[in-house]
Each structure stands twice: as structure tokens, then as C-alpha cells.
Amino acid sequence: MNILVCDDDRAIVDAIEIYLSQEGYTVLKAYDGLEAIRMLQEHEVHLLLLDIMMPHMDGIRATVKIRQTSGIPIIFLSAKSEDTDKILGLNIGADDYITKPFNPLELTARVKSLLRRYTQLGAISEQRPSIFRIGGLMVDDDRKEVTVDGEPVKLTPIEYQILLLLMKNPGKVFSIAQIYEKIWNEDAIGGDNTVAVHIRHIREKIEINPKDPRYLKVVWGVGYKIDREQERI
């Protein structure tokens, strides 16, 4: 698999290339947001590691541009560790966030985990298509498509997996920790903001009025659920 690493610090890019190459990945390198966008257009890339603070075009603006046409998994790299910075990254379309300096083992583990979820999401199922429908909301898990009242909805891979988890378990309340552990496959330590941001994004995309949702409901103090009875075709 091809991983694009974009950071204006060439030493960091070279170090990440060593870590990921040892795991069998092919590493492509870029040093600003504009170059990263060009590389994505010219090469098949399966995951993007993207620094936030860079010249010419920073990681925030690059991600906004990339998300207009691509659902590629994106992990932000940043020296900033505040929750507000992490939330900003998730808000504009990142799937995960790693604070520099980082542990090489944590970096490779997060890359593997996100790629595994992305690969599973895009895999062609040999089984009969599964369509989950609740009112006007429909998830076609064979085609990996979501529609609301017949209109297509574009979700990131993480958003899709969260919605699919809830659609497959109508009426069941999942806590934030349960959602994090099932989707990220790791302990939910400090994952509250991450899940909440993704849930908000899903609501903004599938609900007419996210403040008064028809489908994705909050059970205060407990978690989230898909509220109505599910039909399975």
C-alpha cells in the first residue's frame, strides 16, 4: 500500500519513511499542502499523513480541498496537543490525530488500524448485498453508499462505520467508549471528543435539522442510538 507523508520538516518525513518501509509500505513524500494535493492526483495513495503547520498551503486548507473529492484516510501530525486543535482537525475531515513527538510504534499501529478499517470498508463482499433502511435513511453496505430520501450522502470511512454500527443495531444504545473501541479497535482513553465530533458530522449530513434529529438520537448521559425499527432487505 502507498502512504503519502507530507511535512515541511524533511527529517521527520525521512524518519517516518524508515518506520513505514520496515512495515512493508511504499512511502511517497511531499513537503507542503500544494505538493500533497498534486501527488494525490498523480499517484494511487491509500493513506495520507499530513502536518498542520506548513508553508504555501497548510494541512488544514489542504484537507478541506482534498475532502471535496476524496475520502482517503487522513492522519494529522502536529506539535499542538490541545483538544481544540484536535477537534479542529477532525472537524475539517481528518480521521485521526497524532501529536509530535510521537512514538514510532504508536504511529505504525494507528496507520495499520486505519488502513485495516479502510480496506474492510472498500472490500467487495462475496455475500448477498445488505441494505439497512430506516425511514428515508438507507445504507447499502455492499456498495458502501448512504442516501437520505434518495439523495446520496458522502461520509468519510470513519463516519460510515459509525453509522453502519448503529444501523445494524437499531434501538441499542452505544456509549462513546463502546463506539470508540469498536471502530478504532483500541481502548477509549481520551476518545470522547473524537467520537462526538464524528457523530456531529454524521448528523449534519443525514438530518434535516441536526438539533432535532429523526434518526441518530442521543440518550443523555448514556450514548447514541438509531431510534426507529430497522428494515433489512
Within 13 Å and on the Cβ side, how many CA atoms surround 121?
A: 26
Cβ–Cβ < 8 Å for 2, 45? yes
Q: Which helix (H) or strand (E) holds 139?
A: strand 137-140
Q: Which residue do the cell numbers 463506539 mark? A: 179
The Cα 63–Cα 67 span in angstroms is: 6
Q: What is the pLDDT along the chain (233 residues), one digit of tens a residue?
A: 899 999 999 999 999 999 999 999 999 999 999 999 999 988 889 999 999 888 889 888 999 999 887 888 999 998 766 667 677 778 888 889 898 888 999 999 999 988 887 776 654 344 444 788 888 899 988 888 999 988 999 999 899 999 999 998 888 899 999 999 888 877 766 666 889 999 999 999 999 998 889 999 999 889 999 976 544 44
Model pTM? 0.60
The Cα 110–Cα 116 span in angstroms is: 10
The Cα 226–Cα 217 span in angstroms is: 6
Cβ–Cβ < 8 Å for 63, 49? no
Burial of 95 (0-12, 13-18, 19+ CB in 10 A): buried
Domains and CATH numbers, the chain: 2-122 (3.40.50.2300), 131-232 (1.10.10.10)
Q: Which of 50, 77, 87 is nearest to 66 (CA)?
A: 50
| Axis-axis angle for helices 59-66, 33-42 (nearest 10) | 30
The Cα 120–Cα 75 span in angstroms is: 18
